[in-house]
């Protein structure tokens, strides 16, 4: 540790002079870590330029100024609701200091005291004024006012001057790091050294160069991409098992399917087959838009495992989705398919467990119940995880560990922007289904203000009269005093009164049997209008459904709205999605217009990502999604692509990271991994 350049940086905050336990706790809350490096990588949100030093007569409202002036008069308020007013003079003119709740040090000031003040200039009672200025010191201590002041994110109880003092102590510990960036790239970009860039942003003497922030962002992205590249290389080096088959089971399934695969499906299946046949574990993400045909690809991949004499399992997040996949697989698969969920009967469960343990059942579909301890396989060779972002990292790993060096195929219907593919999913190979099977009808999407709800219901009545089946989606189950959002139970009651005997209700708080009965009545056409929450977002496949109404659509993410809309347009008839938004939608209405204008899920995902950023781009926040400290996506997407290429080139030339640059890159991995993103499964 004595020769470790990172030792002073991975030390606790209390190692810094003047940082006691209480202040360290406040700092840790603000910076999201307990070490010196966490403080150093806590970048300011902005910088305030305090270099302007005008005379009082030159003050202009709206500007930030630093002045040296004499206190001429202190005016005490006549009532607690009035402010304290201190008049300043410097021979050129006058200005006021205004305080509504001054501390004792201010009220004790006496005329004749010379002060140094810095803050935003306003007009008060017709005269230039500083209202609660950020800095007020005796003139002899004017040097305490920084020329360029960083503005860091703070927390309750933490003052900016405390962060500034701690940051100065942390910067004093910064070593001179060897360069981990490719020298040609650094020269072409005009980037300064890492430590120089960090000082320029954290303690600038002049307005910081945007190239300094760009350099810092690149460093973090490079370390992230290098980590992912190393992870991929380690996984490829692990021994796996080759799964090959003669195709006879697949041929039978495709004959029962009755449709030719799309070019995209053929390409994805070929990529999966190549992984299955390779003597290393597969770790692939199958990404397909709503209705792109991922289910048949999953079945064919699982049948390849069965052809090889092994077993395959498909895990899904909900019982509804499990039942839907099971019905599809049972109709197409030439080998037995079991289902295992929390709602399975005791007899179903006993039969499934026995068949899986003996190998008599080669395929199984289930929910979280699949990774319970009592579920054992004779030879699980392929684990498929649908809607994989709904499962935690530990759950996914536990599921895969049920097999002996099992291959893992993850699937998602949530279109993923390229930026996220390079970060969160960067350690996996990716197959993308960008086209839909032929014959899918167009879905027309329209926007409606809440005031137009009676017209929407009238249109609904006309659709029902033609035999249509309709989804009505609400964001909540029941009304609450604290919310004005549409509630499914209240909407169900209103629509049931309007269309007696024709409406049913489904939401997550119902018992499984009650919800299944409601969905079955809707699918059979007995109740052609289904009022539901997002419980129908996945796993409900009713080709006859052609209309969807979504209330308070502005409260949903675009990706989730696209998923919901995917419940219609599954048959041969034209389909319609009506998005009802709050009156005076403004920006929300503009965002919904993106959904109205395209049914391309990838275009929608990219637009949603650029509007909302990466933290919740998939609609379900989870550990491991991009959470950078120095970089920001999608702003730095171009840098991310360069970093990915640079990391790959470095590892190709120096796989052991033993060269001078390789050893420097190891330091970058440690520096940015101190509070880095966990492995994503």
> pLDDT digits over 138-181, tens only?
999 999 999 999 999 999 999 999 999 999 999 999 999 999 99
C-alpha 59/C-alpha 75 separation (Å) is: 21
Give the pLDDT score at 622.
36
Average pLDDT over residues 214-233: 92
Weakest-pLDDT range from 148-162, 190-204, 276-290? 276-290
Q: Which two tokens stand for residue 564?
A: 């919901």
C-alpha 204/C-alpha 369 separation (Å) is: 56
CA 204 vs CA 34, 47, 168, 213, 247: distances in Å: 24, 9, 11, 12, 66
Q: Which two tokens stand for residue 169?
A: 């102590």
C-alpha 40/C-alpha 85 separation (Å) is: 39
DSSP-derived secondary structure for 572-599: SS-EEEEEEE-SS-THHHHHHHHHHH--
Residue 184 · residue 164 · CB < 8 Å = no
Weakest-pLDDT range from 262-271, 420-429, 621-630? 621-630
Average pLDDT over residues 582-603: 79
Q: Which of 545, 605, 603, 615 is nearest to 577 (CA)?
A: 545
91: left (phi over 0), alpha (psi -120 to 50) or beta: left
CATH superfamily of 248-433: P-loop containing nucleotide triphosphate hydrolases (3.40.50.300)
> Which range among 311-315, 472-476, 557-561 has the greatest average pLDDT?
311-315
Q: What is the largest CA-CA distance in the chain?
A: 98
Per-residue confidence at 480, pLDDT binned at 50, 70, 90? low
3-state SS, 285-341, equals: EEEECCCCCHHHHHHHHHHHHHHCCCEEEEECCCHHHHHHHHHHHHHHCCCCEEEEC
351: Cβ contacts below 8 Å, ≥ 6 apart: 338
pLDDT at residue 586 above 60?
A: yes
* Region 51-145: CATH code: 2.40.50.140
> pLDDT digits over 387-408, tens only?
755 555 555 566 667 777 889 9
Q: What is the CATH class of 443-598?
A: alpha beta
Average pLDDT over residues 459-482: 83
DSSP-derived secondary structure for 622-657: -TTS---SS--TTTTHHHHHHHHHHHHHHHHH-TT-
Per-residue confidence at 675, pLDDT binned at 50, 70, 90? very low
Average pLDDT over residues 323-332: 91
pLDDT at residue 129 above 60?
A: yes
Give the pLDDT score at 537.
77
> pLDDT digits over 555-581, tens only?
888 878 888 898 898 887 889 999 999
**Cis ω for the linkage preceding 370 (within 30 of 0):** no
C-alpha 300/C-alpha 261 separation (Å) is: 11
């Amino acid at each position: 540790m004595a020769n470790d350049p990172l030792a002073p940086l991975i030390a606790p905050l209390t190692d810094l002079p003047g940082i006691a336990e209480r202040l360290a706790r406040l700092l840790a809350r603000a910076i999201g870590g307990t070490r010196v490096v966490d403080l150093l990588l806590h970048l300011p949100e902005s910088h305030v330029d305090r270099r302007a030093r005008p005379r009082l007569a030159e003050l202009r409202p709206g500007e930030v100024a630093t002045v040296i002036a004499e206190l001429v008069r202190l005016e005490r308020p006549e009532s607690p609701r009035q402010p304290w007013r201190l008049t300043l003079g410097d021979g050129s003119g006058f200005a006021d200091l205004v305080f509504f709740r001054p501390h004792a040090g201010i009220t004790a000031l006496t005329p004749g005291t010379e002060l140094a003040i810095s803050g935003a200039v306003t007009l008060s009672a017709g005269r230039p004024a500083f209202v609660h200025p950020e800095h007020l010191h005796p003139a002899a201590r004017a040097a305490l006012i920084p020329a360029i002041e960083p503005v860091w994110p703070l927390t309750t109880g933490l003052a900016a001057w405390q962060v500034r003092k701690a940051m100065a102590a942390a910067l004093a510990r910064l070593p001179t790091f060897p360069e981990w960036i490719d020298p040609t790239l650094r020269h072409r970009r005009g980037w300064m050294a890492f430590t120089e860039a960090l000082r320029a942003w954290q303690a600038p003497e002049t307005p910081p160069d945007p190239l300094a922030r760009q350099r810092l962002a690149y460093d973090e992205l490079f370390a992230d991409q290098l980590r992912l590249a190393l992870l991929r290389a380690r996984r490829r080096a692990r021994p796996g098992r080759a799964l090959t088959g003669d195709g006879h089971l697949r041929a039978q399934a495709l004959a029962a399917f009755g449709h030719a695969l799309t070019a995209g499906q053929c390409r994805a299946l070929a990529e999966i087959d190549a992984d299955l046949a390779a003597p290393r574990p597969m770790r692939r993400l199958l990404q397909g838009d709503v209705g792109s045909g991922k289910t048949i690809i999953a079945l064919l991949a699982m049948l390849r495992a069965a052809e090889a004499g092994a077993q395959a399992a498909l895990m899904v997040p909900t019982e509804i989705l499990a039942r839907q996949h099971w019905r599809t697989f049972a109709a197409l698969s030439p080998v037995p398919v079991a289902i295992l969920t929390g709602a399975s009967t005791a007899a179903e469960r006993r039969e499934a467990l026995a068949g899986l343990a003996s190998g008599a059942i080669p395929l199984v579909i289930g929910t979280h119940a699949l990774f319970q301890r009592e579920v054992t396989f004779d030879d699980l060779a392929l684990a498929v995880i649908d809607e994989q972002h709904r499962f935690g990292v530990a759950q996914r790993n536990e599921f895969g560990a049920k097999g002996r060096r099992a291959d893992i195929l993850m699937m998602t219907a949530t279109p993923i922007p390229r930026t996220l593919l390079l970060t969160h999913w960067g350690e996996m190979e990716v197959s993308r289904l960008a086209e839909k099977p032929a014959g899918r009808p167009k879905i027309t999407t329209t926007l409606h203000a809440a005031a137009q709800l009676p017209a929407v219901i009238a249109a609904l009545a006309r659709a029902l009269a033609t035999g249509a089946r309709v989804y009505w989606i609400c964001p909540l189950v029941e009304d609450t005093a604290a919310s004005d959002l549409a509630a499914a139970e209240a909407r169900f009651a209103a629509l049931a009164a309007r269309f007696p005997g024709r409406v049913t209700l489904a939401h997550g708080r119902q018992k499984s049997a009650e919800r299944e009965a409601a969905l079955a009545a809707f699918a059979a056409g007995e109740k052609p209008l289904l009022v539901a929450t997002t419980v129908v977002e996945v796993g409900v496949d009713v080709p006859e459904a052609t209309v969807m109404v979504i209330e308070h659509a502005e409260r949903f993410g675009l990706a989730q709205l696209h998923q919901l809309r995917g419940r219609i347009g599954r048959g041969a008839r034209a389909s319609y999605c009506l998005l009802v938004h709050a009156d005076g939608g403004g920006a929300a209405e503009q965002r919904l217009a993106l959904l109205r204008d395209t049914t391309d899920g990838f275009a929608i995902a990219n637009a949603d990502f650029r509007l909302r950023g990466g933290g919740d781009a998939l609609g379900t926040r989870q550990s491991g999604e991009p959470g950078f400290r120095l970089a920001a996506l999608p702003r730095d997407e171009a840098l991310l692509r360069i970093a990915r290429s640079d990391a790959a080139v470095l590892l190709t030339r120096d796989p052991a990271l033993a060269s001078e640059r390789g050893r420097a890159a190891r330091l970058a991995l440690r520096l940015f991994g101190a509070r880095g993103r966990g492995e994503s499964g």
